A and B are shown apart, each in its own frame.
Chain A
Amino acid sequence: MTTATQPAASRPGAPAAPAIRVQGVEKSFKDLQVLKAVDFDVAKGSIFALLGSNGAGKTTLVNILSTLMKSDAGTATVEGFDVADSPGDVRRSISLTGQFAAVDEVLTGRENLVLVARLRHQKDPGRIADDLLARFSLTDAGDRRAATYSGGMRRRLDIAMSLIGDPPVVFLDEPTTGLDPQARIEVWQTVKALADGGTTVLLTTQYLDEAEQLADRIAILHEGVIIRNGTLAELKRLLPAAKVEYVEKQPSLEEVFLALVGEPAQAGEPAASVPTAPAAPSTKESR
């Protein structure tokens, strides 16, 4: 049933081996089967968006990939290391920015960065902290306790802490949930800059426009399986072309998503009842 026949979007010069490979991963909490059989690859240096509604299992999957949780079945590798067999190597290759900002509120922004730099055994923690404060527009707030930060500042600090040591793979779990539009755009710019620098990014999101904006590939996680995995263009092709009336309008990812999620029984076929005109104005911006 997979429609992902094209090779993953890889950047020029990137090796062919995927940065992340997930095969048949299952996870249950007591009677609740959250992940049924999840499969996907993420190409090195690409941005991969895992799209799913609240409770779809995105965080569970990210926790498995970042060695915080063990899967019940299946295998997952990050940079070639099995998350169950070589968690130490995986931890050296990744950073996790969890769904809720994981900063030390008692410490200042700068102290938070120095703390992580020390724990990652970096040479010059103070300089690394100052560089990151500047890069994330936090220099002025650097000596204030993180408890006084706004949501956007806290998220920026959180992501900055994750980038210390330049891990080749970065997990961002709902990085913009709860942020105002301005802060969201700042996070998007950071994510794009990371991928431009060769970092592999796996982000989860409930926001379709976020996946549309950022991702080289998008996978839709629904009821424990990846129901679709492809580039934005591929996903859009799943729906019948928009009917030409006065203006041609491509279906937005939102329509694709709602059509797919609304018709799980016919997951193998493009949904039949697709609106021919967008229900909401497109939020697509130019990249």
Chain B
Amino acid sequence: MTTHVLSDTRVLTARSLTHIVRSPDTIITTAVTPIALMLLFVYVFGGAIQTGGTESYIDYMLPGILLITIASGVAYTAYRLFLDLQGGIFQRFQSMPIARSSVLWGHVLTSLVANLVSVAIVVGVAFIMGFRTGASVGAWLAVIGILVLFTLALTWIAVIAGLSAKTVDGASAFSYPLIFLPFISSAFVPTDSMPGPVAWFAENQPVTSIVDTTRALFAGQPVGTDIWVALAWLVGIMAVAFVLAMRIYRRKAA
């Protein structure tokens, strides 16, 4: 292969980031829905929700809100990839002597940057609304690491969607179930308040372990075994999505 993977990836990431800088509405839109949810849950439903803990409700729900932010943000990655495929620029890249995987990595790294910016905005608003954390620097780094892994895992799913979509709407439709998953998890209400089968699903789906880990890190409490379950899910999903995305990409490129 070529030795230019890194420089080609850097150039293509810069290109894709330029797109975001020129239409920052994609970042704003990504942040608006979770902020609205936060307002709704804290000021409307929050008073009626019993979490069984001593923390304020915003502290309880912020981890789930951050996952929703990322789940809706990656839809733009699928969208941008789809537009590249439609517009012919993808073909141009494919016919040039550049490292093949750079075209995808450019979109993936852009997705990471864009989603972390959206997450930062949401966390900022949460602070204004009263979110407080006793997290140490190490705990913050762990939270960031988990969110980065979550973004990468979902981004590779977005790459699959962007590469295989037939229409613009199809490219982003995959994100709806992902946005919905936190609602059937421990993100907003404790899972033991749910009826049997739903509680079983909620306790065993990836979002719950990720939310519980993040919540514990923010609260400065021990994470227990949750973090290993969360990491196993994240790395597993990322690996499967990556392999599938690369397979589809190679077929597309051949």
Contacts and interface: CB of A to CB of B under 8 A. Distances in A.
- Say whether A and B bind each other: yes
Interface of A: 66-70, 88, 91-92, 94-96, 98, 100-107, 111, 115-116, 118-121, 161
Interface stretch (B86-94, B108-116, B157-165): B86-94
A98 B92 contact: yes
Given A106-B22, A121-B7, A68 B95 contact: yes
A106 B254 CA distance: 27
Contact of B97 (A69, A92, A106, A115): A92
Given A68-B95, A92-B97, A100-B87, 19 more contacts: A66-B95, A88-B1, A88-B2, A91-B96, A94-B95, A96-B95, A98-B88, A98-B91, A98-B92, A102-B88, A106-B19, A107-B15, A111-B18, A116-B92, A116-B96, A118-B7, A119-B12, A121-B7, A161-B92
Given A100-B88, A103-B89, A91 B97 contact: yes
Interface of B: 1-2, 4, 7-8, 11-12, 15, 18-19, 22-23, 87-89, 91-98, 253-254
Given A70-B254, A119-B98, A96 B91 contact: yes
A121 B88 CA distance: 21
A69 B93 CA distance: 14
B11 A115 contact: yes
A120 B97 CA distance: 7
Which has the most chain B C-beta neighbours within 10 Å: A70, A95, A119, A121? Answer: A119
Closest 10 CB pairs of A and B: A102-B88, A102-B92, A96-B95, A91-B97, A92-B97, A66-B95, A118-B11, A100-B88, A102-B89, A106-B19
A119 B96 contact: yes
Contacts of A100: 87-88
B242 to A, nearest CB: 23
A106 B18 contact: yes
A263 B91 CA distance: 36
Contacts of A121: 4, 7
B96 A105 contact: no
A100 to B, nearest CB: 5
Nearest to A164: B96
A77 to B, nearest CB: 16
Determine which residue in B2, B22, B91 has the highest number of CB atoms from chain A within 10 A of its CB, and name it: B91
B95 A119 contact: no
Contacts of B1: 88
14 contacts: A67-B95, A68-B253, A91-B97, A100-B88, A102-B91, A103-B89, A104-B89, A106-B22, A107-B15, A111-B18, A115-B11, A115-B15, A118-B7, A121-B4
Nearest to A145: B22
A120 B94 CA distance: 12
